[in-house]
């Protein structure tokens, strides 16, 4: 698992390097405004930003960043297809360029690489960049022998209404950051680095709560107003790593330390949802809206009791409640780490909000995670009538890059 986030002081040299002429003068005089300077010490060599700006995630390591790291405020999901004629060497060169760029940006070294100046005076702001490979890439590069069985196409679900132009993709990038400009800067630079090698297939933009906006910063709310993410696998769970990551001796070997990301753009039918009485909404999910407690429970962290009956002998958590139908308990232990972003892209021609969840979930094998759970939800989940699955993709996300290496090296040079 990546190291936990830690606010890291930004060196004075880097700040001066990234502040631009007027900012540098201000810094030299110790007179820069509140957002940059938390605790400046005369004569010290470091000048901390606020913790939002300074939080750094490591790019290199056993796993890629952006899987178990805390959700960020801003997210961009981008899919690319190789330009015809790009071969394995070309793909390797692209992944090397992307990895070097991601490592520099995540370390807050934007000044060294950023010709756009979009994020020039910002710290790394929890930036993570994650790369994945779609099944089509293996055909294009003649690497079908290395295609993981876990990357088999997802089955069709009865409620799917998928847009092929916003689904699939040979290459995938997930960008997350707690600053909008840092996120877009990464997006621009990664896009520019793809020129001549890959063209963008689709792009989706989402958001989560800003750190510090609530006294309960660990609990996200989605656009249905629910606390979402409570019963995710937890790092202290004995099987946490095994559920999310391909083991070191995994199959295929190039996926050691990797994971599989299922990406679904799920539109919420917010108008009919908001017409439901709150009590009904809570029965649809099986949890209270106010504090996320399971029905019949005290608080968000109260374990869900699926066996509990009310005075009339009926299940306290309805038989078709979302938490019952999706729970590992009712799915032979199938589980995934959900790490979504909300989106709101204006209105559709009929006036309905084009809004919902960029559902991203992580697992060591989609056949022991997303697939069985979504099959079950598709058959009888009280939430499904309020959702439309509009786009879908599945990506193999290799393990993290070694220093001096790049993501996917074991596949592309194997
Ligand atoms: C196939 C997997 C899932 C899809 C697709 C999905 C969509 C989806 N879910 C919500 C809102 C909530 N989901 C909650 C719990 C929950 N959801 C899934 C799986 C999928 N959800 C699981 C495995 C769980 C955990 C079940 C459990 O063990 O208790 C909750 C409750 C809070 C929580 O535990 O996170 C909410 C709320 C939406 C809005 C949505 C599609 C837009
Ligand atoms: Fe859910």
> Among the atoms of ligand 1, which is closest to the Cα of residue 266?
42
Question: Once rounded to an integer, what is the mean pLDDT over residues 354-361?
Answer: 98
Cβ atoms of residues 125 and 178 within 8 Å = yes
Cα(150) to ligand 2 centroid in Å equals: 22
Ligand 1 contact via 322 beta carbon (within 6 Å)? yes
Measured by CA distance, the residue closest to atom 3 of ligand 1 is 374
> What is the pLDDT at residue 17?
27
- The mean of the pLDDT values for the chain is 88
The pTM of the full predicted model, rounded to 2 decimals, is 0.90
> What is the pLDDT at residue 34?
23
Which one has a higher pLDDT value, 117 or 267?
267
> What is the pLDDT at residue 214?
85
> What is the pLDDT at residue 165?
98
Measured by CA distance, the residue closest to atom 1 of ligand 1 is 374
Question: Ligand 1 test: best mutation among 220, 225, 323, 390, most atoms within 8 Å of CB?
Answer: 323
Measured by CA distance, the residue closest to atom 11 of ligand 1 is 228
> Among the atoms of ligand 1, which is closest to the Cα of residue 226?
37
> What is the pLDDT at residue 48?
52
Split at pLDDT 50, 70, 90, the class of 221 is very high
Cα Rg of the chain, angstroms: 22
Ligand 1 contact via 138 beta carbon (within 6 Å)? no
Ligand 1 contact via 327 beta carbon (within 6 Å)? yes
Ligand 1 contact via 359 beta carbon (within 6 Å)? yes
User: By percentage, how much of the chain surpasses pLDDT 90?
Assistant: 81
**Nearest ligand atom owner, CA of 266:** 1
Domain extent listing, the chain: 1-49, 50-412
Which one has a higher pLDDT value, 261 or 31?
261
Residues noted as catalytic: 228
> Among the atoms of ligand 1, which is closest to the Cα of residue 264?
5
Token pair recorded at residue 251: 């199959």
Cα–Cα distance, 349 to 288 (Å, whole number):
33
Kindly report which listed range (119-123, 145-149, 154-158, 346-350) carries the lowest average pLDDT score: 119-123
Cα(184) to ligand 1 centroid in Å equals: 28
Split at pLDDT 50, 70, 90, the class of 19 is very low
Question: Once rounded to an integer, what is the mean pLDDT over residues 133-152?
Answer: 98
> Among the atoms of ligand 1, which is closest to the Cα of residue 328?
28
pLDDT digits (tens, 9 = 90+) for 34-64: 222 222 223 334 455 678 999 999 999 999 9
pLDDT above 60 (res 8): no
Split at pLDDT 50, 70, 90, the class of 23 is very low
Question: Once rounded to an integer, what is the mean pLDDT over residues 397-410?
Answer: 98
Cα–Cα distance, 222 to 227 (Å, whole number):
7
Question: Ligand 1 test: best mutation among 155, 234, 318, 322, most atoms within 8 Å of CB?
Answer: 322
pLDDT above 70 (res 391): yes
Q: Cα dist. 346→343, 350, 354 in Å? A: 9, 11, 6
Ligand 1 contact via 357 beta carbon (within 6 Å)? yes
Cα–Cα distance, 281 to 386 (Å, whole number):
11
Measured by CA distance, the residue closest to atom 20 of ligand 1 is 326
H/E stretch holding 346: strand 341-347
> What is the pLDDT at residue 178?
96
pLDDT digits (tens, 9 = 90+) for 318-347: 999 999 999 999 999 999 999 999 999 999
> What is the pLDDT at residue 112?
62
Does the bond joining 252 to the residue before it have cis omega, within 30 degrees of 0? yes
Measured by CA distance, the residue closest to atom 17 of ligand 1 is 326
Measured by CA distance, the residue closest to atom 35 of ligand 1 is 229
Cα(248) to ligand 2 centroid in Å equals: 29
Ligand 1 contact via 287 beta carbon (within 6 Å)? yes
DSSP string, 175-222: EEESSHHHHHHHHHHHHHHTTTTEEEEEEEEEE-PPTTSSS-TT-EE-
pLDDT above 50 (res 152): yes
pLDDT above 80 (res 232): yes
Ligand 1 contact via 356 beta carbon (within 6 Å)? yes
Cα(322) to ligand 2 centroid in Å equals: 6
């Amino acid at each position: 698992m990546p190291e936990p986030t830690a606010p890291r002081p930004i060196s004075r040299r880097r700040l001066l390097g990234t502040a631009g002429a007027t900012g540098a003068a201000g810094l030299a005089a110790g007179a820069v405004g509140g957002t940059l300077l938390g605790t400046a010490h005369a004569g010290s060599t470091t000048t901390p930003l606020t913790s939002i700006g300074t939080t750094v995630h490591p790019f290199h390591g056993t796993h890629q960043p952006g899987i178990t790291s805390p959700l960020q405020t801003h997210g961009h999901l981008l899919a690319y297809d190789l330009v015809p004629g790009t071969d394995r060497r070309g793909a390797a060169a692209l992944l090397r360029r992307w990895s070097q760029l991601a490592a520099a940006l995540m370390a807050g070294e934007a000044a060294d690489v950023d010709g756009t100046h979009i994020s020039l005076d910002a710290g790394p702001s929890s930036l993570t960049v994650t790369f994945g490979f779609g099944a089509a890439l293996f055909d294009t590069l003649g690497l079908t022998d290395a295609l993981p069985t876990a990357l088999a196409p997802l089955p069709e679900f009865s409620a799917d209404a998928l847009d092929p132009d916003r689904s699939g993709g040979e290459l995938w990038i997930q960008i997350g950051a707690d600053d909008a400009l840092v996120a877009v800067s990464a997006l621009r630079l990664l896009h520019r680095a793809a020129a001549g090698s890959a063209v963008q297939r689709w792009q989706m933009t989402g958001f989560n709560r800003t750190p510090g906006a609530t006294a309960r910063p660990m609990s996200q709310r989605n656009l249905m107003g629910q606390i979402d993410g409570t019963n995710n696998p937890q790092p202290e769970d004995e099987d946490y790593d095994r559920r999310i990551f391909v083991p070191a001796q995994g199959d295929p070997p190039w996926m050691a330390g990797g994971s599989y990301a299922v990406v679904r753009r799920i539109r919420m039918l917010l108008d009919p949802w908001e017409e439901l009485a709150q009590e009904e909404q809570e029965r649809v999910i099986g949890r209270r809206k106010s504090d996320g407690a399971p029905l019949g429970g005290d608080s968000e962290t109260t374990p869900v009791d699926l066996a509990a009956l009310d005075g009339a002998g009926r299940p306290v958590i309805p038989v078709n409640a979302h938490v019952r139908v999706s729970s590992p308990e009712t799915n032979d232990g199938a589980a995934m780490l959900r790490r979504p972003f909300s989106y709101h892209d204006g209105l559709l021609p009929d006036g309905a909000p084009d809004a919902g969840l960029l559902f991203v979930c992580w697992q060591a094998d989609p056949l022991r995670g997303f697939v069985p759970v979504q099959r079950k939800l598709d058959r009888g989940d009280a939430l499904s009538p309020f959702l439309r699955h509009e786009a879908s993709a599945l990506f193999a996300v290799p393990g993290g890059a070694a220093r001096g290496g790049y993501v996917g090296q074991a596949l592309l040079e194997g």
